[in-house]
Amino acid sequence: MGAGARPPYTNPIPQGLILTGIVVAVSTTALALSLIIRIWKQCGTIEADELREMD
Amino acid sequence: MEVVDIRPLLAPAISFACSGLVFVYGKNRLWRNFWSLSAAVIKLGVVMSMLPGALRGDVYVYKLVDFTPGIGLGFRADALGMLFALVSSTLWVLTIIYAIGYMEPEHEKSRFFGFFALSLSCTVGIAFAENLLTMFLFYEALTIATYPLVIHEETPEAFRAGRKYLIHTLTGGAFVLIATIVTFQIAGTLTLSKPGILDASMGTQTLTWLFVALIAGFGVKSAIMPLHGWLPEAMVAPTPVSALLHAVAVVKAGSFGILRTIYNVFGIALLKELGLTNWLAWIAAFTIIAASFIALFQDHLKRRLAYSTISQLSYIVLGASMLNPAAATAAIAHIANQAFAKITMFFVAGAIQRTTGKTHIHEFQGIGYRMPWTMGAFTVAALSFIGVPLFAGFVTKWYLALGTLEAGAWPFLIVLIASSLLNAGYWLPIVYMAYFKVPPGTKMHVEEARPTLLIPTLICAAYVILLGTTAQVPLMPFSVARAAVRFVFGM
Amino acid sequence: MVSWPQWLSLVALVPLVGAVTTPAVSRGRSRVAALWALGVMTVTSFAALMLILRVAREGPFSYPFGGWKSPIGIEFRFDEFSASIGIVCLVGWLAVLYSQRYVEHALEEPRIPYYYTLLLLNFTGMIGFAVTGDLFNLFVFMEILSLSSYALVAISGERTAEMAGFKYLIMGAISSLMVLFSIGLLYASTGSLNMADISSRIGDGAVGPIPLAMALAGLTVGFMVKAALFPLHIWLPDAHAIAPSPVSAILSGLVVKTGLIGILRVYQIYYGAKVLDLSSLNTMLVWLGAISIVMGAFFAIFQEDIKMMLAYSTISNIGYIVMGFGLASPYSVIGGSVHIFNHALIKATLFLAAGCLIHKTGYRTLYDLRGVGKAMPLTTAALSVGAISIVGIPPTAGFLCKWYIALGAFEAGQPFFGVALIFGALFIFVYYIRMVNSFYFRQPVHPEFLEVGEAPASMLAPVLILASLCLVMGILGRIPLSFIEPAAHRLLAPLGG
C-alpha cells in the first residue's frame, strides 16, 4: 500500500479477483449456451427427459 | 562362498531371448525349431556349468538393478535353486523335441513356442531369484506367460479353463505380494540368501498371518487342496504344456516357493518355535490321500495324471513341513523325482493320443502290444510312483519315511503307505489293461509313436531308473538336494 | 547450462501465446496448425526440462512476476510436484504428433486449427496450474484448462459428444465455483493469496477454525470433481470415451491429475494448521479411494466399448492415488505422487492405441474388434503392455506404485487398505484379460479388417514410445521415486512423519 493511502480506501485485490471471476463465469456460460444451441439444433429439444430417451 | 557371476542371469535371459526370436522368426518352421532347440541346449549347458561349483558350496550371485535401496532384481544360484533350474532346463530340451513332433498339426505355432520359452525363462527366474520380490516378479510373469498356452485350443472349454487358471493363480499372486510387502515392512529385507530372515520378536500373530499368506499364495500353484481346482481343468492344454508346465514348471514353482518360505524366509528354528508347520503337514497329508482317491475314478488319462500330480506335489510340502534333514532331502529330491516320472507319463498320454486318438483309459485295451516301447516307459513311471526300489520314487519315499519317524509323526508314515497302495490302485490297472486285456480278434501289429515323440519319452523313463539307482553318484540331482539340505540345516 | 528462473514464466506463456496465434499462423491449413503446435510444444518441453533439472539439483525455487516479491506480487513456484509438467509435455507432445493424422479423419477440416488452439490452451492450463504459487492464479489456470477440456470433448460436433461435453461442463462449473468461494474465504480470513504465505499464517494459529474448515471442504470437493473421485465421477466415462482419442489420452492421463495436484496443494496449505485435525479428511479420502477402485473396476467389467472400459479404469486408478495421499505415510504419498506420472504414461498408451484401432478398423467394441491382434500386432502389443502395466504386474510402471502405496498402508497401520488395493488390482485384471482375449484368441467377427495393417507412423510411433516407457519406468522406477521423496517428506513433516 502506498504511503499516501488513508482509510477508507478500497482494497483493489478483491475487485481484481471478482472481475476475473466474472470473465471466467461469462466464458463458461457462453460455452454452455453454445453447446445448448447445438444440442437443440441437432435434437430439436433441450428437455433433459426427452434427450435421455434419445440415447 | 559367494561369487559374482552373470550365469544366474544368463539362464533366464537365454529363454527370454529365445521367445523374442521365435515371435519374430516364428513363421518359418525351421527357424522356430532351431531357435527353440538351440536355446534349450545352451541354457542347459549354462546351468550344468554351474553345477560343480554349486556342489563345492560356491554360490553364484548377480545383482541386476535396484528399484530403490533394498528392493531390486537379484539372481543367486544356490543348491536349492540349482536343483529346480537343472530339472526344468533338462526337461525343456526333451519337451522341445517332443513338442516339435506333437504340435505338427496344430495352429499358431509361433505363439506356442514363443510363450513356451517365456514360461521357461520365468521358471528359471524363480529358481535363481535372490529375493522375494524377484521371485514374485517371475511368479506373476509365469502366470501371464502360461495363459496363452492353456487356452491354446481357443475352444469355450479352453477359455473356461484359462479363466479359472488366472483367477486361481492371480489371487495366489496377490497373497504373495501382500506377504512380500509385510515381510519387507517387518524384516527390512527380502533376501533369500539366509536361513531365515524373520525372528520371533516380530509378533506371533503377524508371523502366523504372514505364513498363511505365503503358503496360500504359493499353495495355489502347488495345488494344495482346496486350492487345486485349476489344475485338472488346465489339462485342456496341448500335451507338451501339460507335461512341462503342469507337471514341472508351474506347479513346482509353487512347491519351490513353499520350500523357500520354510527354509529361507522363516527358517527352521523359527518354525519349530512357532509350530506352524503341523497343520501344513496335515493339509498335505489330506491332499495326498484325497487327490489319490479322486484319481482312482478318473477315466480321462490326463485328468488322472492331474490328480496324481496334486497328490505327489504334497509329498514335497509334507517333507518340508517335517523340519528335519531326512524329510527335507526327500522334499527337495522329489522335485526331480516326480518331474521325470510324471513327464514320462504325460509324454505317453500325448503319444497315445497322437498315434491312436485314444484319450480315455477304458480304450487302452491291448495298447501295450501296439506301442510296446511307449507302454514300457509308462510302466517304469508307474512303478516309480508306487515306490518300488530301483526307481526314482523309492528314494523320496525312503527318506520321507525316515523323516516322519525322526519327527515322531508316525501317522504320516501310514499316509505314505496308503498313498503307495492308492498309487498302485490307479496305475496298475492301466498297465494291466494295456498288456493283459486284449479284446479278442484284434490284430497284433506294432504301431509305435513317431520318433520325435518316442525318443524323449524313453530318455525320461531311463532317467527315472537312473535317479533311482544312482542316488549316491555326484552331479546327479540327488547330490544337489543334499547340498541344499546341508545349507538349510547348517551342517 | 543456464537455468534462469525466467524459464518458469516461459513454460506457461509459450503454449498460451502459441494457442492464440495458431489460427492466425495456419489460416485454415490444418497441416500448418499441426506443425505450429508441435513446435510450440517442443519449446515448452525444453523449458520444462530445464526447470526439472534445476529442481532436481537445487530443490524448489520461485519466480516473482515483475520483481514483486511474495506475498504482494504474483509468483510462480516450482517444486517437485510441479515436475508433473514433465509428463504433461511428454504426453502432450506425443498427442499433438498423433493428432495430425487422427483428426484429419475424425474432425471437419475448418475445425482443425481450433482443435490445436484448444489443445495448447489445455496444456497452458495444466502447466500453469502446476507451477503457480498463487491461489487465485491457480483458479484461473484451472478455468483455462476446464473450458478448453469441455470444448475438446464436444469438438467432434456429434450429438453424444455435445451431451457429454455439456454434462462435463455442468459438473466442472459447479466445482469451479466451490474452489472460487473457498479461495475467497481463505483470502478473507488470512489476507493473502500466496499459498506458502497462507500456509504459514494458518500455521501461526491466528485464523479461526470455521472459515478454514469451510474453505477446506470447498477446495477438497471441488478438486475431487476435477479428479473424478467416486461419487463425483459421473461426468468422466462419457466425456473420456466420446472425445477424440488423443483428447481422451490427455483428459484421462493428465487433466484429471490436475485435481489430484490440487488436493496435494490443499495438503501443502493445511498440513501446518494446528487448529484443524486433518485425520478425518484423510480417512474419508482413503475410503473414497478404496470405493473408487472397486466401483471403477466393477463398472468397467460390463463395458463393451473399449474406450468406455479405459475411462472406468481411470476412476480406479484415481482411487489408488487418492488412497495413497489419504494414508499420509511417506511411502504411500510417494507411491501416489509417482502414480500420477506413471498412470499418465499408461493411460495415454492405452487410449492412443485404442485410437489406432478405431482409426483403422472403424470399430470400437470388444466384440467387433475380435482378432484384431493379427491385423495390427504392434498396436495390440502396446495395448497389452499398457494393460499389464495398469494391473501392476511387475516389472512395469504400474507395479512400483502399487507396491509403494500398499507398503504405505502397512506402514500407516492400516493393512486392510493394502489388502484391498492388491485385490482391487485383481478385479481390474478381469476386464483387461477380456480385452486381450478378444484381440488375440477369438475368431474375428469382421474378417475384412485383417487386411488393414498398422496405423500411419506418426500415430504408431507415439504409441510405441509410450508403451516402451511403461516398461522402462518399471525398471528405472527409482528415478521418479527418489525425485519425489524429499517433497513427500517435506509435505508430511508437520505431521511428525
Instruction: Split chain B (491 residues) into runs of 10 and give each run's mean pLDDT.
Output: 82 84 79 83 87 81 74 84 88 86 78 86 89 88 87 85 88 90 86 82 84 90 85 84 82 90 86 84 90 87 87 88 86 87 88 83 79 85 85 84 84 87 86 79 73 84 83 76 81 71
CA B135 to chain centre: 16
Q: Which three cell numbers stand for residue C471?
A: 516398461
Which neighbouring-strand residues pair with B66? Answer: B72
| Cβ proximity of B484 and B51 under 8 Å | no
Contact A17 C143 (CB under 8 A): no
Out of B136, B151, B181, whose CB is closest to C407?
A: B181
Helix or strand holding residue B331 (H, E): helix B325-356
Helices C84-106 & C457-475 angle (0-180, nearest 10): 150
C121 pLDDT exceeds 90? yes
Nearest to residue C269, comparing CAs of C215, C307, C339? Answer: C215
ipTM: 0.85
Probe site for chain C from A18, A19, A38 (most C CB atoms < 10 A)? A38
Check whether the bond before C395 is cis (ω within 30° of 0). Answer: yes
Contact B174 C425 (CB under 8 A): yes
Residues ≥6 apart with Cβ < 8 Å to C434: C301, C366
Instruction: Look at residue C178 in the predicted model and tell me its pLDDT.
Output: 92
Contact C162 A13 (CB under 8 A): no
- Mean pLDDT, all residues of chain C: 86
Nearest to residue B463, comparing CAs of B371, B383, B381? Answer: B381
Contact C441 B66 (CB under 8 A): no
Neighbours of B433 (CB within 10 A): 18
Put simply, whether C416 touches B (Cβ < 8 Å) is no
Residue A28 lies in a domain: yes
Residue A8 lies in a domain: no
Put simply, whether C377 touches B (Cβ < 8 Å) is no
Instruction: Please tell me the distance in Å from C282's CA to the nearest CA on chain A.
Output: 30
Residue C293 lies in a domain: yes
Instruction: Look at residue C352 in the predicted model and tell me its pLDDT.
Output: 92
Structural domain span for residue C441: 277-497
Give the span between the Cα atoms of C138 and C131, in whole angstroms: 9
For residues A43 and A32, the model is more confident at A32
Instruction: Look at residue C91 in the predicted model and tell me its pLDDT.
Output: 92
Beta pairing class for B2-4 and C75-78: unpaired
The region, left, alpha or beta by phi > 0 then psi within -120 to 50, assigned to residue C29 is: beta
Contact C394 B136 (CB under 8 A): yes
Residue A10 lies in a domain: no
Instruction: Please tell me the distance in Å from C159's CA to the nearest CA on chain A.
Output: 6
Measure the N-to-C terminal CA separation of chain B; round to a whole number of Å: 15
pLDDT digits (tens, 9 = 90+) for B336-346: 888 888 888 88
Q: Which residues of C touch A (CB under 8 A)?
A: 136, 139-140, 143, 147, 150-151, 154, 157, 159-160, 162-163, 165-166, 169-170, 173, 176, 180, 183-184, 187, 193
Which residue has 517444486 as its cell numbers?
Answer: C79
Give the span between the Cα atoms of B304 and B300, in whole angstroms: 6
Contact C173 A28 (CB under 8 A): yes
Instruction: Look at residue B68 in the predicted model and tell me its pLDDT.
Output: 67
Residue C225 lies in a domain: no
Residue pairs between chains A and C whose CB atoms are closer than 8 Å: 51
Residue C454 lies in a domain: yes
Phi, psi for B136 (deg, rounded to 5)? -60, -40
Q: Which three cell numbers stand for residue B138?
A: 517371475
For residues B93 and C273, the model is more confident at B93
Contact A35 C140 (CB under 8 A): no
Triad C184, C187, C188: Cα angle to 5°: 85
Probe site for chain C from A13, A17, A20 (most C CB atoms < 10 A)? A17
Q: Which residues of A touch C (CB under 8 A)?
A: 13-14, 17, 20-21, 24, 27-28, 31-32, 35-36, 38-39, 42-43, 51, 54-55
Which chain A residues are within 8 Å of C136, Cβ to Cβ? 17, 20
Q: Which three cell numbers stand for residue C228?
A: 473424478
Q: What is the DSSP letter of C437?
A: I
Q: Which residue of C has its CA nearest to B169?
A: C426
Give the span between the Cα atoms of B222 and B18, in whole angstroms: 27
Give the span between the Cα atoms of B25 and B316, in whole angstroms: 40
Neighbours of A13 (CB within 10 A): 14
Are chains C and A in contact at 3+ CB pairs closer than 8 Å?
yes
Nearest to residue B488, comparing CAs of B314, B239, B276, B320? Answer: B320
Are chains B and C in contact at 3+ CB pairs closer than 8 Å?
yes
pLDDT over 90, % of chain C:
27
Nearest to residue C244, comparing CAs of C106, C151, C45, C97? Answer: C106
Instruction: Look at residue C497 in the predicted model and tell me its pLDDT.
Output: 43
Cα Rg for chain A, rounded, in angstroms?
A: 21
Beta pairing class for C61-64 and C75-78: antiparallel
Are chains A and B in contact at 3+ CB pairs closer than 8 Å?
no
| Side-chain-facing half-sphere of C154: CA atoms under 13 Å | 23
The region, left, alpha or beta by phi > 0 then psi within -120 to 50, assigned to residue C30 is: alpha
| Cβ proximity of B6 and B45 under 8 Å | no
Residue by residue, what is the 3-state secondary structure of B350-410? HHHHHHHCCCEHHHCCCHHHHCHHHHHHHHHHHHHHHCCCCCHHHHHHHHHHHHHHHCCCH
Q: Which three cell numbers stand for residue C94?
A: 506425443
Probe site for chain B from C389, C441, C442, C475 (most B CB atoms < 10 A)? C441
The subunits that touch chain A, with at least 3 C-beta pairs less than 8 Å apart, are: C
Instruction: Look at residue C191 in the predicted model and tell me its pLDDT.
Output: 82
Contact B71 C403 (CB under 8 A): yes
Residue A4 lies in a domain: no
C1 pLDDT tier (thresholds 50, 70, 90): very low
Residues ≥6 apart with Cβ < 8 Å to C192: C71, C198, C201
Nearest to residue B76, comparing CAs of B22, B143, B9? Answer: B9
Residue A49 lies in a domain: yes
C-alpha distances in angstroms, B412 versus B222, B301, B405, B425, C227? 20, 28, 9, 19, 58
Triad B109, B110, B111: Cα angle to 5°: 90
Phi, psi for B129 (deg, rounded to 5)? -65, 130
Structural domain span for residue A37: 20-54
Q: What is the DSSP letter of C132?
A: B
Give the span between the Cα atoms of B243 and B98, in whole angstroms: 10
| Cβ proximity of C333 and C491 under 8 Å | yes
Out of C140, C150, C183, whose CB is closest to A31?
A: C150
Contact A17 C173 (CB under 8 A): no
Which chain B residues are within 8 Å of C411, Cβ to Cβ? 185
Which chain C residues are within 8 Å of B13, Cβ to Cβ? none
Contact A17 C184 (CB under 8 A): yes
Residue C114 lies in a domain: no
Q: Which three cell numbers stand for residue B43?
A: 541354457
Would you say how long chain C is, in residues? 497
Instruction: Please tell me the distance in Å from C68's CA to the nearest CA on chain A.
Output: 13
Q: Which amino acid is at C407?
A: L
Measure the N-to-C terminal CA separation of chain A; round to a whole number of Å: 58
Out of C403, C429, C442, whose CB is closest to B181?
A: C403
Helices B79-102 & B451-469 angle (0-180, nearest 10): 150
- A14-23, B321-330, B378-387, C442-451: lowest mean pLDDT where? C442-451
Residue A24 lies in a domain: yes
Contact A35 C166 (CB under 8 A): yes
Which residue has 481343468 as its cell numbers?
Answer: B233
User: Number of folded domains in chain A?
Assistant: 1
Neighbours of B155 (CB within 10 A): 11
User: Number of folded domains in chain C?
Assistant: 1
Residue A31 lies in a domain: yes
3-state class (DSSP) for residue C442: coil
Out of A21, A27, A55, whose CB is closest to C180?
A: A21
Give the span between the Cα atoms of A2 and A12, in whole angstroms: 12
Residue C378 lies in a domain: yes
Residues ≥6 apart with Cβ < 8 Å to A39: A46, A51, C159, C162, C163, C166
